[in-house]
Structure 1
Amino acid sequence: MKTCPHCHIQVGGDTGYCPLCQNRLHGEQGSPWFPPTAPRIHRASLFYKIVAFVVLTLTVVAGAIDFLLLDTAHLHFSLLILVWGVAGLSVLRVLLRRRYNGPRLVFNLLLLVSALIVFTDWFTGYTGYSLDLVVPILCSVTLVCNFIFAFLHSRFTANALVYLLMNIGVGLLPYILLFFRIDRGRIDGHSIPWVNCLIISVVTFLGLVIFKGRDLRSEIAKRLHL
């Protein structure tokens, strides 16, 4: 049975890294441990198949109406439905697997939803509402959720470095956009949501460093084997 030298837990199967700290495991490969909730997994799989069938069926019907019954000069809304449907099924599949961590899930959702919003804005005739309003609001909500998650669950709190890096990663976006958008010290109305996102980024970063500094130091020591 493989063991983690840092968390002191035993891990079955052929995985090479600890599920808690992501450090390399030591020891011989052992027998896999099957979870006692196999019926729940089967029910989740059946639920996903039913949802996927319904979503794809509606997409096919929308495509038939779009391309066969309507005028070809109009906007093909079925393509937009297809993109959102596939993205929704991908998110549902991840959620039903129940093998994810909070920060990574929130960050991936931010990237996915932001890309979908920008694509929808471009597909329907770009007006700028996606990058000027929706995306900075999503980034601000992500930063706040990331800050709250760091204090709610002990398993998340112990992984303080992930929260800090995620905060830095999301917080860099308003820096970059504001650098190209602000001209001669003037901030236009379109930049205000990004300015708010920048303020939230700095405040949450300071909060993580001040309140979770000890967890952060221990996490760095564990990651770097100090």
Structure 2
Amino acid sequence: MKNCPYCNIKVGGDLKKCPFCQSRLAGEAEDRYFPTQTILKLQSFFYKLQLFIVWIIIITSIGLDFFFGLPLYPSCKFHWSLLIIMWLLAFEFTIIRLFKKGMNASRVLSISVVLVMIMLGITAYYVGFLKIFVYWVLPNVVMATMVANFVFSMLDKSGNAMVYLLTNLLIGILPYIAFYVLKRNCPLEWIICLLVSFALFVGAIIFRGREVVNEIQRRLSV
């Protein structure tokens, strides 16, 4: 059994340092008391590896953009490295969400989609594809997210995914209202998105009627 010469205590197992003063233990190690957390060590290694790669990309892009003035494409008139940094920070935020305990699939999906859509909107504005993003990319991604949340709510037994399914109705209505207020014709993709949100809401009532009512009462405190 090992011992600490400073704390005058005996320490079992194969620890190398004293659990109190962190001094190096003397004596011979015994059999390990607890199993090694190989999965956590592996996850930690890959997280550190990807974080190192991310910082290399950030430093390289800043150097090429600000110090060498290298444009992303011939007509590029903005600092493209800032967009790359924005995307990488969003990526790191998503990675942290995935490792955080208590995050169900619907919540991770919804947060990730919202974050990616914000990043895509900013990127499309500077690159010059904002109209394509608003009229085609965004509604299709929203519809795919709605369908995914509907599937999660059908498979989830705890009811935690139901709130994200109910927000589908609101997400489908808001763009239509926005186009109506701006007095512009609502694009076909957003009209389909609105119909899909209503269809999924009806499906939720049919398959999980009581859970839908309970979730509405809980959220609205009625």
What TM-score do the two structures reach when normalised by structure 2?
A: 0.70
Q: How far is 1:163 from its partner? A: 3.6
Distance 2:122 2:177 in 1: 20
Identify which range, 75-84 or 167-176, moves more after superposition.
167-176
Corresponding letter in the other structure for 1:169: L
Q: What is the aligned partner in structure 2 of residue 63 from structure 1?
A: 62
Once the two structures are superposed, the pairs formed by residues 1-226 of structure 1 within 5 Å of their partners are 39-70=38-69, 74-125=77-128, 127-155=130-158, 158-159=159-160, 161-180=162-181, 183=184, 187=185, 191-219=187-215
Corresponding letter in the other structure for 1:131: V
Runs (4+) of structure 1 exceeding 4 A deviation are 36-39, 71-74, 218-226
Identity %, equivalent residues: 32
Q: How far is 1:134 from its partner? A: 1.2
Corresponding letter in the other structure for 1:148: V
Q: How far is 1:51 from its partner? A: 0.6
Residues 172 and 46 (structure 1 numbering): CA distance in 2 closer, same or farther, change over 3 Å?
Answer: farther
What TM-score do the two structures reach when normalised by structure 1?
A: 0.69
- Secondary structure, in 3 states, of the residue corresponding to 1:128? helix
What whole-Å deviation, never above 9, does each CA across 1:180-224 have from its counterpart, x for those lacking one?
Answer: 3554xxx46xx1111111111111111111111022345567778
Corresponding letter in the other structure for 2:59: V
Q: How far is 1:103 from its partner? A: 2.1
Q: Which runs of 5+ in 1 are unaligned?
A: 1-35
Residues 172 and 90 (structure 1 numbering): CA distance in 2 closer, same or farther, change over 3 Å?
Answer: same
Distance 2:68 2:219 in 1: 59
Residues 118 and 101 (structure 1 numbering): CA distance in 2 closer, same or farther, change over 3 Å?
Answer: same
The count of aligned residue pairs is 184
Distance 1:180 1:68 in 2: 46
Q: How far is 1:173 from its partner? A: 2.7
Instruction: Give the conservation status (yes or no) of the 8 Å contact 2:143–2:196.
Output: yes
Residues 217 and 180 (structure 1 numbering): CA distance in 2 closer, same or farther, change over 3 Å?
Answer: closer
Q: What is the aligned partner in structure 2 of residue 21 from structure 1?
A: none
Instruction: Give the conservation status (yes or no) of the 8 Å contact 1:103–1:166.
Output: no
Instruction: Give the conservation status (yes or no) of the 8 Å contact 1:178–1:194.
Output: no
Structure number with greater Rg is: 2
Identify which range, 61-70 or 136-145, moves more after superposition.
61-70
Corresponding letter in the other structure for 1:43: L
What whole-Å deviation, never above 9, does each CA across 1:151-190 have from its counterpart, x for those lacking one?
Answer: 22323xx34641443223322333323323554xxx46xx
Considering only aligned residues, what root-mean-square deviation do their CA atoms show, in Å? 2.9
Distance 2:211 2:36 in 1: 32
What whole-Å deviation, never above 9, does each CA across 1:4-24 have from its counterpart, x for those lacking one?
Answer: xxxxxxxxxxxxxxxxxxxxx
What whole-Å deviation, never above 9, does each CA across 1:55-95 have from its counterpart, x for those lacking one?
Answer: 11111112111222235884322111111111111101111
Residues 145 and 182 (structure 1 numbering): CA distance in 2 closer, same or farther, change over 3 Å?
Answer: farther
Instruction: Give the conservation status (yes or no) of the 8 Å contact 1:139–1:197.
Output: yes
Identify which range, 50-59 or 89-98, moves more after superposition.
89-98
Corresponding letter in the other structure for 2:189: P
Residues 66 and 179 (structure 1 numbering): CA distance in 2 closer, same or farther, change over 3 Å?
Answer: same
